[in-house]
């Protein structure tokens, strides 16, 4: 039986029970792995930052992918998020259960705070005041005040929280729970849970449309994604990519791990972790137009602020590759540590880029 059949059973059992609330809000224009520069933050050089789970955080040159600097935040850094003014990097560290604050000009560590067990992918509010840190080893999302670097609240957002996302107006935060198969929506101003959305399977990365009408959600056990209508909180479509029957079961049923919706929302790029491929779809038609082989398990995606190239971390191969979206092929690759995972591309202000 195909490994993905389990997901189909969850879908049949759960498709009719997903209307929990009706409040809606706009979503951030910033996609996963791409930090959108605020209007009052002038643009400078483009930088790549990569979390190497066995070593440190690395800064890569965007053209050559060479390592130009390292930031020692502790063993097993996981998630990366940049402040809206692009002057500060926040990193979650799994071994010390911390959120670490890093100055992007000097790479000096400005502060650390203990959060929940095994912190994963954080997000930050539009004003830069709060960072939300999902706890993969617990059942709370930790809210950190970035000025004092203290935890000010814990939110019940399900067990084994994995990824968090912020809306463009800073009003909403979305937190995925792998343990309870749901997405929690939080009011970022009141710091209260607004609603929870059951997704019928284990949610992994999420890509949200700018008007917050739809969310594309990767689920464990599925090579592909489901479409969640955020106006009704119902799954309205399933897109499944056929894979060979003898495909080995990846860790935690992670057949899909990265999703990236381009800023114009015309393309959705998918990292097929279980089959070592990158897929691309024209949106909103969901028409498949590219399949690109990569040399290992693709973990995360980041888009250059100018639109080309697309950067992909290849965890099992210890590499980062650059894919030219127009040519639909890998154009550069480089060895980057032992286990590169999360990656973010950021254009820093001019004065940050100067030594």
265-302 pLDDT, tens per residue? 999 999 999 999 999 999 999 999 999 999 999 999 99
- Residue with tokens 């998630």, as numbered in its chain: 79
- Supply the pTM of this predicted model: 0.89
- Residue with tokens 């790029």, as numbered in its chain: 269
CB atoms within 10 A of CB 83: 22
* pLDDT one-digit tens code per residue, 123-132: 999 999 999 9
Q: Which sequence spans correspond to the domains of the chain?
A: 5-12+41-349
Nearest to 100 by CA among 46, 140, 144: 144
pLDDT of residue 43: 67
- CATH code: domain 5-12+41-349 is 2.130.10.10
Average predicted confidence (pLDDT) for the chain: 89
Confidence band of 353 (pLDDT split at 50, 70, 90): confident
Least confident of 137-141, 170-174, 335-339: 170-174
* pLDDT one-digit tens code per residue, 58-77: 999 999 999 999 999 999 99
| Apex 92 CA angle, 37 and 145, nearest 5 | 70
Q: What percent of the chain has pLDDT over 90?
A: 83
């Amino acid at each position: 039986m195909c490994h993905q059949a389990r997901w189909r059973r969850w879908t049949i059992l759960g498709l009719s029970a997903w209307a929990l609330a009706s409040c809606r809000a706009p979503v951030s224009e910033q996609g996963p792995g791409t930090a959108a520069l605020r209007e009052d933050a002038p643009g400078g050089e483009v930088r790549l930052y990569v979390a190497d789970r066995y070593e440190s955080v690395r800064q890569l040159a965007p053209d050559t992918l060479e390592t130009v600097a390292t930031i020692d935040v502790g063993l097993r850094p996981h998630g990366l998020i940049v402040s809206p003014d692009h002057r500060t990097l926040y990193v979650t560290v799994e071994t010390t259960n911390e959120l670490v604050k890093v100055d992007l000009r000097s790479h000096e560590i400005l502060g650390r705070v203990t959060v929940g067990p095994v912190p994963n992918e954080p997000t930050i509010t539009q004003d830069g005041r709060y960072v939300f840190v999902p706890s993969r080893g617990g059942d709370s999302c930790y809210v950190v005040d970035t000025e004092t670097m203290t935890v000010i609240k814990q939110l019940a957002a399900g067990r084994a929280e994995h990824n968090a996302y912020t809306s463009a107006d800073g009003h909403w935060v979305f937190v995925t729970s792998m343990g309870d198969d749901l997405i929690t929506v939080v009011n970022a101003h009141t710091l209260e849970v607004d609603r929870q959305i059951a997704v019928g399977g284990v949610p992994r990365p999420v890509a949200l449309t700018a008007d917050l009408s739809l969310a594309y959600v990767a689920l464990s056990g599925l090579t592909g994604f489901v479409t969640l209508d955020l106006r009704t909180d119902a799954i309205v479509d399933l897109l499944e990519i056929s894979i060979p029957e003898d495909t080995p079961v990846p860790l935690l049923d992670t057949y899909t791990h990265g999703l990236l919706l381009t800023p114009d929302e015309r393309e959705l790029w998918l990292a097929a972790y279980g089959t070592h491929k990158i897929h691309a779809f024209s949106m909103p038609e969901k028409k498949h137009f590219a399949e690109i082989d990569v040399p290992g398990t693709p973990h995360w995606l980041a888009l250059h602020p100018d639109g080309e190239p697309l950067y992909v971390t290849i965890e099992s191969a210890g590499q980062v590759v650059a894919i030219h979206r127009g040519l639909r092929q890998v154009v550069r690759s480089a060895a980057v540590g032992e286990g590169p995972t999360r990656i973010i591309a950021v254009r820093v202000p001019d004065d940050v880029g100067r030594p």
